[in-house]
């Protein structure tokens, strides 16, 4: 079920993806018909434009600060903060500064 990550090893999720200048970088850890889990890094000023997901999406910021717009409402999240973006509700993500997040989508 898990891929692209060591098993039976203590690790920090934020260390599983690195920053790249001018980019959003992602690393998929789980992908199946019920759930997907992906780690992202955003360079400052980078974004994922408005879209909707086919399942409820839970994000947890691992490092830095991001801006999340969900159904027109704006949320600023920092390390340790979690937000659930409901299925089919348009949302976008913007790097207020360099930041990393974990995304879990349940279908």
The pLDDT tens digits of the residues spanning 7-50 come to: 999 999 999 999 999 999 999 999 999 999 999 999 999 999 99
> What domains does the chain contain, in order, with CATH numbers?
15-106 (2.60.120.10)
Instruction: Output the average pLDDT for the chain.
Output: 97
pTM of the model: 0.95
pLDDT category at 62 given cuts 50, 70, 90 is: very high
**1 pLDDT more than 90:** no
Look at residue 22 in the predicted model and tell me its pLDDT: 98
101: left (phi over 0), alpha (psi -120 to 50) or beta: beta
Strands (E), the chain: 24-31, 35-42, 47-51, 56-70, 73-78, 82-85, 91-106
């Amino acid at each position: 079920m898990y891929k692209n990550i060591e098993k039976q090893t203590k690790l920090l999720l934020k260390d599983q993806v690195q920053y790249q200048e001018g980019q959003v970088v992602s690393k998929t850890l789980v992908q199946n018909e019920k759930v997907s889990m992906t780690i992202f890094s955003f360079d400052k000023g980078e974004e994922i434009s408005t879209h909707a997901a086919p399942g409820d999406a839970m994000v947890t910021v691992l490092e830095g600060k991001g801006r999340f717009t969900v159904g027109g409402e704006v949320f600023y999240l920092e390390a340790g903060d979690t937000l659930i973006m409901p299925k089919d509700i348009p949302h976008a993500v913007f790097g207020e500064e360099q930041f990393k997040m974990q995304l879990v989508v349940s279908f």
